[in-house]
Amino acid sequence: MKPYLGRFLAPTALCLLLIGCAQTGPPLPPSLELPKPPTDLRASRKGNHITLNWSEPVLTTDRQSVRYVGPTLVCSSREADITVCGNPVAMLPPSPQVAQKAAATPPASQTYVAVLPVAFQTDDPAAEVTYAVEVLNRNARGAGLSNRVHVPAVATLPPPADLSAELTGDGVVLTWTTAVEPQNAPAVQHLYRIYRRDESSGKDAIAGEVPFGEPVSTHFTDGGFAWERTYFYRVTAVSIVKRPDSEVQVEGDDTPPMRVVAHDVFPPAVPAGLQAAYSGEGQKPFIDLVWAPVTNADLAGYSIYRSEASGSPVKLNSELVKSPSYRDTAVASGKTYTYSVSAVDVRGNESQRSEPTSEPVP
C-alpha cells in the first residue's frame, strides 16, 4: 500500500505547488507612495494676498490609499506656466494623517495665503502670476505639480483712511476722501465698493459702488438696510481690468469696519399743502381736508389736529388715517376751525404738524 500511496501524493503535491505559484504577469515593484497631484487648486486675490485652496490627495499614483503625506511646496512664477518648482514660495509641513480608504473619507481641504510681491504688481492689464502646488511623500519625493492657476498682477489702490458713517432719516451716510490718484492706464478702471454686513447673520451685501474721482470728499447714502438692526460698513478700492475677451475685478484692502446701529428715531416728512373746504347746503355740515401725500417708505398714516379760537389743538382720529384726506363732521354753525396734520411712521415716530389752515362754518 505505501508504494501506491506515494505514487498518488507526488503528482498531487506538484499540482498544488504549480497552482500556488501561478500569476498573470511579472512581479509588481513596491509602491513609491507618491501622492497624486491635486487637480482642484483654486486662487482668489484680495489686496496683496493670494488665497490658495486645494484638496489633499487621498490616492497615490498607483491608485493606492495614501498612508503618509510629506511637505507641500507652493510654487509661483511670472511666466504663464510652471514646469518645475525650483524656488518654492513656501514649504508647508505635513498635515496629520493616518491610513485611510479614499472612498470612505472625503479629502481634507488645504489653504495657504501667499503675499504677492510689490515687484510683481503692474499696470499691465495682461500681466498675471501663476501658482501651483506639489504634494510630496515622506521621502520628499513628488509626482509633479498640480493644475496651474493664474492671478491678475494689476496693482491695487489703498482704501480710504478717513471713512466715517452717520445715521440719518434718509439712510446711512458714508463719507471719505479719495487720497490717491490712479495711474493713467486706459485698460484699468477703478471704483469704490461699499460693503454692508449684518451683525446678526454675518452676511455681506454690496450696498453700492462709487466711481473713482479726484482727490475730494466722497459721499454715499445707503438706504437699502433694515431699521432696528446693527451693521458694519467697509469700503474697498476695486481695480477693473479690461481685456479683449473678459473683465477681471481685483479688490484692494478694506477700510476698518464702521459699526452703525440703525435705530429709527427719525420721523417722516411734514405733510404739505393742507387745504380745508366747508360743505353743508341742504345736508349735515362737514369740512373736508386734503393734503399732499407723504412719500416716506415707512409711512404708517396721518394724525389730524383741530383747534377752536385760541384753544389748544385736539387730536381727532383714534386710529391713523391711511389716505391724505379727512372729513370732519363734528362741526357747528358760527364757529371757525383750525386744522393741522402730522405724519407717523411704522415705528411711531411722528413728524411736526403741517402749516395750519382755518375754515369757518356759517
Residue ending a domain, among 234, 261, 288, is 261
Could you read off the pLDDT of 271-303 as tens digits, one per residue? 999 999 999 877 899 999 999 999 998 999 999
Range of the domain at 206: 164-261
What secondary structure letter does DSSP report for 119?
G
Average pLDDT of the segment spanning 101-130: 84
In a domain, 68, yes or no: yes
Percent of the chain at pLDDT > 90 equals 66
21, part of any domain = no
CA atoms within a 13 Å half-sphere pointing along the CA-CB vector of 138: 10
pLDDT band per the 50, 70, 90 thresholds, residue 206: very high
Predicted confidence at residue 357, as pLDDT, reads: 97
CA nearest neighbour of 353 among 298, 304, 307: 304
CATH number of the domain where residue 318 is located: 2.60.40.10
Check whether residue 103 and residue 185 sit in a common domain. no
Mean pLDDT of 305-329: 95
**DSSP track, 203-272:** -EEEEEEEE--SSSEEEEEE--S-TT-EEEEEEEEEEEEE-SS-EEEEEEEEPPPEEEE-------PPPE
Among residues 145, 143, 186, which one has the least CA distance to residue 34?
143
State the pLDDT at residue 183: 67
The answer to whether residue 171 scores a pLDDT higher than 80 is yes
In order, the DSSP letters of 70-109 are --EEEEEESSS--S--SS-SEEEPPPP-----TTTSPPPE
> What average pLDDT is seen over the chain?
87
Instruction: Give the pLDDT of residue 26.
Output: 57
Verify that 175 and 257 share a domain, yes or no: yes
172-205 tens-digit pLDDT: 999 999 867 666 677 888 999 999 999 999 999 9
Q: What is the pLDDT of residue 307?
A: 97
Distance CA 234, CA 163 (A): 8
**pLDDT tens digits, residue range 5-43?**
344 444 444 333 434 444 455 554 556 789 999 999 999
Last residue within a domain, chosen from 261, 281, 305: 261
In a domain, 16, yes or no: no
Residue 130 pLDDT > 90 = yes
Question: Per the structure, how many domains does the chain have?
Answer: 3
84-102 average pLDDT score: 75
Q: Is 320 a domain residue?
A: yes
How much is the pLDDT for 321?
A: 98
Q: What is the pLDDT of residue 51?
A: 98
Question: Strand, helix or coil at 202?
Answer: coil
Same domain as 205, residue 257: yes
148 pLDDT higher than 80: yes
Q: Within this chain, do residues 283 and 197 fall inside the same structural domain, yes or no?
A: no
In the predicted model, what is the mean pLDDT of residues 313-341?
Answer: 96
**In a shared domain, residues 78 and 135:** yes
Q: Do 53 and 116 reside in the same domain of the chain? A: yes
In a domain? residue 230? yes
* pLDDT at residue 194 in the model: 97
User: Grid coordinates in use for 31?
Assistant: 509602491
- Cα distance between residue 71 and residue 90, in whole Å: 10
My answer on whether 87 and 131 are in the same domain is yes
Q: Answer yes or no: do 60 and 117 share one domain.
A: yes
CA nearest neighbour of 276 among 353, 361, 362, 351: 361
In a domain, 17, yes or no: no
Mean pLDDT across 349-358: 97
Within-domain flag for 33: no
Domain boundary among 261, 284, 305: 261
My answer on whether 184 and 230 are in the same domain is yes
pLDDT class of 115 with cuts at 50, 70, 90: very high
Residue 228 forms part of a structural domain: yes
Residues 146 and 176 in one domain: no
What Å distances lie between residue 67 and 71, 97, 100, 109, 332, CA to CA?
14, 7, 7, 17, 98
- 67 and 140, same domain (yes or no): yes
Residues 276 and 246 in one domain: no
54 in Cβ contact with 146 (< 8 Å): yes
As to burial, measured by CB atoms within 10 angstroms (0-12 exposed, 13-18 middle, 19+ buried), residue 232 is middle
**Phi, psi values for residue 220, rounded to 5°:** -145, 135
Contact indicator for 244, 232 with CB cutoff of 8 Å: no
Residues 41-88: tens digit of each pLDDT:
999 999 999 999 999 999 999 999 888 889 999 999 999 899 888 889
pLDDT band per the 50, 70, 90 thresholds, residue 4:
very low
What pLDDT is attached to residue 188? 87
pTM of the full structure: 0.77
| Three-state SS at 183 | coil
